[in-house]
Every structure is written in C-alpha cells, then in structure tokens.
Amino acid sequence: MIAYPCQICETKINRPTSDSSCGKLNKHASICLWKQAEDKKKSNLASCGIRGTGDINSKEVKILMFAQLCAVWCAKAARPFSALADPSHWAILHPTVDKNLPCRRTVSRDIHMLYSAIQQSYCSVLKAHTGAMYLGVDVWQSPNGFDILGVVIYRLELHETGNIDTAATLEAMPLDFICLS
C-alpha cells in the first residue's frame, strides 16, 4: 500500500502498489470536504461583505468586469473592436484570458451601454451648471481611414478652497463622435 496525502486537507489516500491508476485520488479531490467548504465560503459576493448582490458568483463578475475593461480599452485607445479578434493580440494573452475574451459585437454593445448610462449623468451635470459653456469641434482621421467629427463641451468649474480664493478648472465633456462620409 502507498499512502498519498491530500494537498488540501492532508488526509492520507491509500492505493495498492499493484494499481497504477489515480482514480482514488481523483475521487477524493472531487469530494474533499475541506475543499467544498472553502468553495461554498467564497462562492458568492455576499460572503465577501458586498450587500444587495443576491447569489452572484464572483467568477462571473470577473468575466463581466473583463468584458467591461475590454470595452473601455477599445473606447479610450480608439481601437477598432476587431482588434480583440486579431491573432497577434491573442498570441500575447494568457490562455485563460483568451477563453473569456468577448467578441467585437459584445464590446460594441458594452460601449453603447456605457455611453447611454453616462449620458444621463452628463445631462444632470449640464443642467446644474451655472456659467459659460464653450463648444469645441474637431475633425480627424482615425488609423483605419474613417473621418470623425468630435463635439465637446468645455465648462469652467469653480472649486471652493476654504478661503477667499477659488480655484477654477476647465473641464471637457465629450458629447458625440460622428463618422463623416
């Protein structure tokens, strides 16, 4: 008999010397009580102290967060959505990341959802603003050959510093990007 210790719970699993299969080890690994208790403890966000989440699996949240980061990367870096499907891009990624990489349609939809969500916030900020606002317009050509018109509102935001002086910053809020024909 050979006794192998479980690397999780340190229980000894016995195997006859004549048996070369690892069936007992695999069986123990699947039913290991310590492992099951650990998985149950870390399986949802509520167990981590995040309230109002219900039974959301933290692994699913990581995948959703990754998809959102891909959308932000494409939007901020002005990358086409097809850059995520480029084989040279896939070659530098870890296989786990590769498996969870969203398709270009998903990234496009996510960017649209982020833009729609932030639009409501922009409207409320602009309605509450008192003072002058300036419209900025710029046209440029993207690396993939599209002519794009960008419309931006600039506004002077005053910040109270506690004494008589006030600090002012010029904030830019992009309104729209239009592809010209």
Residue 55 lies in a domain: yes
Pairing of strands 2-5, 133-141: unpaired
Residue 85 lies in a domain: yes
Residue 106, pLDDT score? 79
Residue 142, pLDDT score? 79
Residue 46 lies in a domain: no
- 121 and 136 together in one domain: no
- 27 and 15 together in one domain: yes
- 81 and 68 together in one domain: yes
Q: Is the pLDDT of residue 100 over 60?
A: yes
Q: Is the pLDDT of residue 10 over 90?
A: no
CB 101 within 8 A of CB 69: no
Rounded mean pLDDT, 2-6: 79
* pLDDT-above-90 percentage for the chain: 2
Per-residue pLDDT tens over the stretch 109-165:
887 887 787 888 888 888 888 888 899 999 988 777 888 898 888 988 877 766 666
Residue 165 lies in a domain: yes
Q: Is the pLDDT of residue 61 over 70?
A: no
Q: Please give the Cα distance from 29 to 154 (Å, whole number).
A: 60
Total number of domains constituting the chain: 3
Residue 144, pLDDT score? 78
Task: Indicate yes or no: pTM above 0.75.
Answer: no
- 143 and 181 together in one domain: yes
Which domain covers residue 1, as residue numbers? 1-41
- 65 and 118 together in one domain: yes
- Average pLDDT along the chain: 75
- 2 and 15 together in one domain: yes
- 61 and 124 together in one domain: yes
Q: Is the pLDDT of residue 45 over 70?
A: no
